[in-house]
Amino acid sequence: MRYSTEKIEFLDVFVNIENGQLKTDLYTKSTDKHQYLHVSSSHPNSVKNAIPYGLGIRVKRICSTEENYKIRREEIKTHLKKRGYNNSSTECNVVFSGDLGSKINLREFTLTMTNTHNDPKTFSGVIWQHRHIAGNCLLFGNGKINCNDLARSISEGRKDLDDMRAKSRNCMLLFFYITFN
């Protein structure tokens, strides 16, 4: 681990102080070969589809600036293409994250709502599918929410990202309406 009074590399995060503010970026060791599961493996498609999704969430969560996020996203796409993934599996997964600003009683939410799945032994959140929101919303007890959707094509991916932001806002508004009314 390398560190100084202005920056540190820890696990998969690079933290530095820039203009008096903490900035975070994705960190990988120089020895990392990025040997993700090859797309031609015999694993189920759900496993192979989860790899770009998980990497996308990871980079979005870690990078504190949009500029670093775009750079790291392109790097990940390059690594995945080397493992046989095509553009539709690396570019079209749209994710938006938000914060409801308050804690959620997941058990109560699951009992109250339809189209929810919660198994605390295997996953610390609730998976919620609502008819007004395409894709899934993952709700966590701390109030964090992740919504995802699959864009229909790369050219529509950028438009779908804006749609996803609107959908996640709708999801949060719907959640507040259901919870507090």
Q: Single out the residue in 45, 70, 91 at which a domain terminates.
A: 91
pLDDT at 17 over 70: yes
Which pLDDT score, from 0 to 100, does residue 157 have? 44
Number of domains in the chain: 2
Does residue 85 share a domain with residue 131? no
How confident is the prediction for the chain on average, in pLDDT?
A: 76
Give pTM, 2 decimals.
Answer: 0.52
Does residue 112 share a domain with residue 71? no
Does residue 121 share a domain with residue 166? yes
Show the domain range for 121: 93-181
Angle (nearest 5°) at CA 66 between 61 and 69: 55
Which pLDDT score, from 0 to 100, does residue 27 have? 92
Does residue 38 share a domain with residue 2? yes
Does residue 108 share a domain with residue 54? no
- Check if the beta carbon of residue 98 is closer than 8 Å to that of residue 81: no
Q: What is the pLDDT of residues 53-83, one digit of tens each?
A: 788 878 888 888 888 888 988 898 889 889 9
pLDDT at 181 over 50: no
Phi and psi for 91 in degrees, rounded to 5? Answer: -110, -25
Q: What is the pLDDT of residues 121-173, one digit of tens each?
A: 888 888 887 665 556 778 888 888 777 665 443 344 445 445 555 555 555 55
In the numeric block, which tokens belong to residue 125? 């959140």
Q: Single out the residue in 61, 91, 121 at which a domain terminates.
A: 91
Band the pLDDT of 95: cuts 50, 70, 90. Answer: low
Does residue 71 share a domain with residue 133? no
What's 124's domain CATH number? 3.30.310.10
Does residue 163 share a domain with residue 119? yes
HEC readout, 58-100: HHHHHCCCHHHHHHHHHHHHHHHHHCCCCHHHHHCEEEEEEEC
Q: Single out the residue in 71, 91, 111 at which a domain terminates.
A: 91
Name the percent of the chain lying above pLDDT 70.
70
Which pLDDT score, from 0 to 100, does residue 93 have? 53
Does residue 130 share a domain with residue 79? no
Band the pLDDT of 47: cuts 50, 70, 90. Answer: confident
Does residue 137 share a domain with residue 170? yes
